Amino acid sequence: MIKSCEPNNENYSCPIEKTLSIIGSKWTLLILRDLSNGTKRFGQLQKSLKGISPKTLSSRLQELEKEGIIIKKVYPEVPPRVEYTFTPKGERLRKIVLALADWGSEDHTALGV
């Protein structure tokens, strides 16, 4: 039983709203999808997420890091290398993303079934 948010409850009292605030933007789920196959670098993500701008990718990654979903590892080399990996919390989210993918790939020929 999920409760709707009470009118006087602010700042994501409702878990769905909180989740939405984290993964609700355009590219986030796709980033998680691509990270699902293992650690990736900034450039790799930019390539696999055909069409994303570096600005947006950077923003989304920062959000995910701040939320404790991914970890950013910087190698002090030149040229710089940066890798992104799921945290345990991210791993749990990943499972759900996989479920969404499964759901999305169901056969829909029999509408509504």
Partner DNA sequence: CTGCATCCCTAAGGATACTG
Partner DNA sequence: CAGTATCCTTAGGGATGCAG
* 4 touches DNA (CB under 7 A): no
- Exposed e or buried b per residue across 17-36, where buried means at least 16 C-beta atoms within 10 angstroms of its C-beta: eeeeebbeeebbebbbbbbb
Candidate segments 31-39, 54-62, 73-81, binder of its own copies by CB under 8 A? 31-39
Q: What's the one-letter identity of residue 72?
A: K
Please report where in the chains the tokens 């409850």 appear, as a residue: 9
CB nearer to DNA: pick between 74 and 111: 74
- Among 33, 94, 22, which residue's Cα sits nearest to residue 62? 22
Q: Examine residue 68 and tell whether it contacts its own copies (CB under 8 A).
A: yes
Q: Which of 7, 38, 76, 79 binds DNA (CB under 7 A)?
A: 79
Q: Is 39 in the site for its own copies (CB under 8 A)?
A: no
Piece in contact with DNA (CB under 7 A), picked from 2-10, 29-37, 59-67, 95-103? 59-67
| DSSP letters spanning 28-48 | HHHHHHHHTTS-EEHHHHHHH
**How far is it, in rounded angstroms, from Cα 8 to Cα 34?**
38
Residues that bind its own copies (CB under 8 A): 1-2, 4-5, 7, 14-20, 22, 24, 26, 29-30, 33-34, 36-37, 48-50, 67-69, 71, 87-90, 92-93, 96-106, 108, 111-113
